[in-house]
Structures are given as C-alpha cells and as structure tokens.
Structure 1
Amino acid sequence: MATSQSFSDRLCGIHAATIVPMMSDFQIDEPALAAHIASVASVPGINGLLVNGHAGENFVLSLAEKRRVVELARAHAPKDCLIVSGVNHESSLEAAREATALEQAGADGLLVFPPNSWALAHADGCVIEHHRRIRDATTTPLMFYAAPVGAGAMAYAPPLLEQLVADRRFVAIKEGSWEVAAYEQNFRLIRKLRPEFVVLGSGDEHLMTSYLVGTAGSQVSLACVVPELVVSLWNAAEANDWERVRAANEKLYPLVAAIYRDAPGGRATARLKACLKLLGRLSCDAVRPPQPPVTPDELHALELALRLAGQ
C-alpha cells in the first residue's frame, strides 16, 4: 500500500492485538476471524493491528495458519491499517522461515517474540543470533518484544537491550515489561541510544503510567475488546488531559485486572475470548489446549468488569 508515512510514523497511536476465533473442534473459524478483524480495525483511532501475537495464540498455530491470519487481516482490515505480525518459534531456523512467509503474506512489519524456552536460561548470544537470522531472512521493518519482568530470563536486561537496539534493521519495540520501573529504565535507555526508535508502552496493566512516562502508542489486546475506551485513554493522554485520562483508567482498571492480573496467570486469551462472547461479538470462545475454558468464577469477574467499563 502506498503511503507517505514511514512504518515508524504509522506505529504511533493505538494498535489492537487481535484474537483468533476457533470452533469447538479447535479449528480456526475464518469467517469469525474476518469479522473480528474488520470490526476492530474499523473503530476510529485504531491505527493498526498486531496479529499472531500472544492473544492470537501464536505459540499453538501452524505456519500455514499464521500465514492465513495475515492474509485475512490484509483482506478485511481497512487499506490504510498497519498490519504487524508476530514471529514466535523456539527454533531460530524455523523463526526465520516463518518471518519470510509472513512478510510474503502481506505483513507491513514483524514483531519478534522471545522463544518461551528462554524463560529457563540462555546466553545473550542466543538472543543476538535469533534476531540476526530473522533479520537476514526478511526485508520488512522489524520490532523487538520486551517480555514481562516476571518471565524470568526471557526479559532483556539493559546491556543486552543495548546490543539489540544497535541493529538498524530494528526500528521499534513493544515494551511489555508490565513493571513500571523496568519500563521507564528501558524507555530512557532506548531513547538515549536511538532517539528515533519507536517505544510502544504495551503492558495492558499500566497503560496510564506508561503514557505518563512516555510512549509513541500501544499494541494491546485490551483494544480488541474495548477499543473505544483504549483510544479515549490515549487521546486524553496525547492532549495532556490527565483528569480525563484518570477517568478512562477508572473504567478500564477492573477489566484489566480481571483479564490480565487475577490468578492464575497465562489466562488472558481465554478471558479475552470470553469477553467478546459476553458482548455478543463471538459465538464460540474456545481456546486451544492446553488452555481450558474460563471457569464460572472467571466469567463472573469478567461480566462485572465489563459492566463497570460501561459495556
């Protein structure tokens, strides 16, 4: 798509991280996915989509399925919608093949996820090598993903982050630290190293705080459930109207806690899908095993949080 804006410019503002609707047999429901993409991407203020992210169950999709997700996003989102696809694979060789395929499918940019095995242990050289292989297999703009500090060794310490940011093929980072001190430390380091580098404050649990510290925007799954509220929070922050920011945050906070914070962890995708079903935007909220469906307690908390958010 022809545009006068650079990829980095187009990353500004709110980008929704979408889910992948599935049928009861756990196969992708393509018509529901197309409708989900079209609905979310058409909301004023949603400037782009992150597909094949954590919310999109990227760790349990095949390469063919991930490619199809990008194709559907390209076909059903508005023509000016920026499409970024996640790349997530334990093998660097397979991650590079995946990146090539997703670029060919029409992604405007690629977000490189740290393999889950890195949460156990890894050498810094593994991180550099993984990103290098993806870089060398593609030509599209690339982004880093900064994992939550609770993800153990998966999170990038400042010395490693400094090495990563030095690679000019990478132009942005989804800063998902989900811990304010780490977010601010990383934000300040990156801006010192490369002032033009795009930092997206994307920890759904502290959007208001990251907007106060500084950010160019967000790629967040919360925006696939309540896109208008997330956009209103961003617009108020951009206008330095912090009273309006706090009011929007008050509406969002119970929902953020119910989706992302309440124990047990790792349940966000199931809860996002349950929210969309409660709102009448999804007929089946199945998630692929090993994730089980939401429990009655989770469902009750989500129902209450949606009401408090005015949904």
Structure 2
Amino acid sequence: MFGEIAQSFGDRLRGIQAATIVPMTRGFEVDEPTLAAHLASVSSVPGINGLLVNGHAGENFVLSLDEKRRVVELARKHAPKRCLIVSGVNHESSLEAAREAAVLEQAGADGLLVFPPNSWALAHADDCVIEHHRRVRDATTSPLMLYAAPVGAGAMAYPPPLLEQLVADRRFVALKEGSWEVAAYEQNLRLIRKLRPEFVVLGSGDEHLMTSYLVGSAGSQVSLACLVPELVVSLWNAAEAGDWERARAMHAKLYPLAAAIYRDAPGGRATARLKACLKLLGRLSCDAVRPPQPPVTSAELHVLELALRTAGQG
C-alpha cells in the first residue's frame, strides 16, 4: 500500500514546486490573509505542481508548532486540489521533530521534508542522523524526503556513506538536493540512482538550476519559484524539451536575481531579500522578517531592483 502512495507522491513531485514565504505584520505576527493570498497566487501558476511550506524560506526555525500547522492548513485550503503540499520538519530535538511531523501530517501535508538540525553544522555522530530520521519516520505514515544541505553548511551536508544509509530506508522516497555545488550534486545523484533508481532527486540550488537539469533532475523545490514562478517553470520546460538555447535565455534572466538573493554577502539573507522583492513587485505590503534577521539595506534593495529588471519584472 505504501509503495503505491510513494509512487504517486514521487510522480507528483516531478516538475516545479515553489518553496513559499510567510508574510509577517510589522509586529512580527503571521499575516494570515496575506499568507493565504500568497499561497493561492503561487500555486495557481501553470506548471507549479506543488508547494514546499515551512521550509527555510518560510522561516521554519522561528515559527511555533501552532504557526507551522496553520501554514499547512492554509496551503491545503487555498491551493488547488491538484497541488502537492510538502511541509518541512525542522527542530533541534528529535523528539520534538517527530511530534512536529505528526502534527503537520495530520494538518494535511501530503509529504514531509526532514531538515537537519542547525546544531549539526558543528559536528555530529552518524548515528545521531539516523536516529533523528528514524524518530520522524516512526511518528508518521506519509512519504518522507531527505534534505542535502549546502556543502558550505559544515557537517550538515551528508557525506556519501551516510547518505547511502539514509536512502536505504524505504520510507524516504525523495531528496531535495541543496548541496549548492555542482560536483556534490552530481556525486549524490549518481550514488542514489545506483542504489534506488526510483528515488526522486530534485535539483534545488537556485543559482544552479540549469546545470542540475542538464546533469539530470526530476524537478525542483525552490523559493525562487515563489517570486518568479513563470520564469522557473519556463526554464524547466525548456530543459525537459531539450531546448538548451531557450533554457540559456531563461537562465540569463534568472541568474542575476538568484545571485542577488542567495549568493551575495552577507549569507543567510534569502528570506529577507525574497520578501523585499515581493514588496517591490506589489505582492506584499510589509516585508518584515522575524528577529534576529534585520530588514534589507538600501544597498541590497538597489541590487535586487536591478536584478528584477533583468528578469523582466517590475
């Protein structure tokens, strides 16, 4: 029975899934009406097959469990029925991660993406990683996804022997590949294809989408798709058709925006910059992010404005 559910889930993952943000009020409360509009607008774009909610772009590390549950409920309510809803699970405690996963599954998530705790960036034993994922697995029944963290995130990035152990668990059926480095992406892709050919690998480094599609990918879960969904879908469609000239044209439009949001120093500013862009485009009235993240600077805003123009926005 689970095999049929997992196959259906994997089929529905193919293509573009938008990782969404969570609009806040100036008092840093979740702005539910604006969130509902954001979820409905992004998910209604042709070619957006699903949403990743409660991801890093959705500030999952500063939301309460009740807020995360509410995000899933609103996504389920306001996205089209065909839309796949995947929720991130992110907690330092394995016990709380398992509890969180069970609540988000009950709230209506079709699948769950297990993020590595931020504390793993310093060091951890491999057994900790296996235990953390086992706790989430045993608390749920839905298809589960792994997350390959950026190679720049220290020990959060799983080395091949550990990734092999994780992929061996049949409850995990897909990987959001966010290594953010092309060689690591291809290494992980080749390893997983050898171990489990049916396992879904999503190329999800926003700066390297075209490269991952060229190497091989089932699609992407990316926050860039909550900002410029039509462009990301166009890039994917061109790659799927083998039209690399058109894909390069889409990449040329997207790359300055991806670099301005995700790469430019200082790091860890993607959510603030995404919200600033959405405000520039008139889709948000308030671009507040929860502390300790400060708002974007005037210098950041200028670069984002130029990148949006290159992307044909605004």
Instruction: Sort the TM-score into its range (normalised by shorter chain).
Output: over 0.9
Alignment-mate amino acid for residue 146 of structure 1: A
CA drift of 1:5 comes to 7.0
Equivalent in the alignment of 1:64: 66
Distance 1:62 1:203 in 2: 27
Equivalent in the alignment of 2:274: 272
TM-score (norm 1): 0.99
Match of 2:92 among 90, 95, 99: 90
Superposed, which structure 2 residues align to 1:188-227 within 5 Å? 188-227=190-229
Equivalent in the alignment of 1:79: 81
CA deviation map 1:17-37 (0-9, x unaligned): 000000000000000000000
Say yes or no: does 1:43 pair with 2:39: no
Equivalent in the alignment of 1:138: 140
Equivalent in the alignment of 1:302: 304
Superposed, which structure 2 residues align to 1:134-213 within 5 Å? 134-213=136-215
Distance 2:256 2:173 in 1: 33
Match of 1:106 among 105, 108, 126: 108
Equivalent in the alignment of 1:289: 291
Alignment-mate amino acid for residue 195 of structure 2: L
CA drift of 1:205 comes to 1.1
Distance 1:257 1:129 in 2: 35
Say yes or no: does 1:228 pair with 2:220: no
Distance 2:162 2:255 in 1: 33
SS state of the match for residue 289, structure 1?
coil
Equivalent in the alignment of 1:9: 11
Contact 2:151 2:179 in 1 (8 A): yes
Contact 2:6 2:173 in 1 (8 A): no
SS state of the match for residue 123, structure 2?
coil
Distance 1:173 1:300 in 2: 35
Distance 1:111 1:137 in 2: 14
Distance 2:161 2:144 in 1: 20
Distance 1:165 1:140 in 2: 16
Distance 1:155 1:176 in 2: 9
Say yes or no: does 1:258 pair with 2:271: no
CA deviation map 1:230-253 (0-9, x unaligned): 000000000000000000000001
Distance 1:185 1:4 in 2: 24
Q: Which runs of 5+ in 2 are unaligned?
A: none
TM-score (norm 2): 0.98
Q: How many residues align?
A: 309
SS state of the match for residue 59, structure 1?
coil
Runs of 4+ in 1 over 4 A off after TM superposition: none
Contact 2:43 2:83 in 1 (8 A): yes
Equivalent in the alignment of 1:243: 245
Change (3 A) 1:221 1:4: closer
SS state of the match for residue 243, structure 1?
helix
Distance 1:173 1:293 in 2: 31
Alignment-mate amino acid for residue 257 of structure 1: A
SS state of the match for residue 61, structure 2?
helix
Distance 1:143 1:184 in 2: 18
Distance 2:260 2:281 in 1: 15
Alignment-mate amino acid for residue 279 of structure 1: L
SS state of the match for residue 33, structure 1?
helix
SS state of the match for residue 83, structure 1?
strand
Equivalent in the alignment of 2:31: 29
Identity among equivalent positions (%) equals 88
CA drift of 1:211 comes to 0.3
Distance 2:276 2:43 in 1: 20
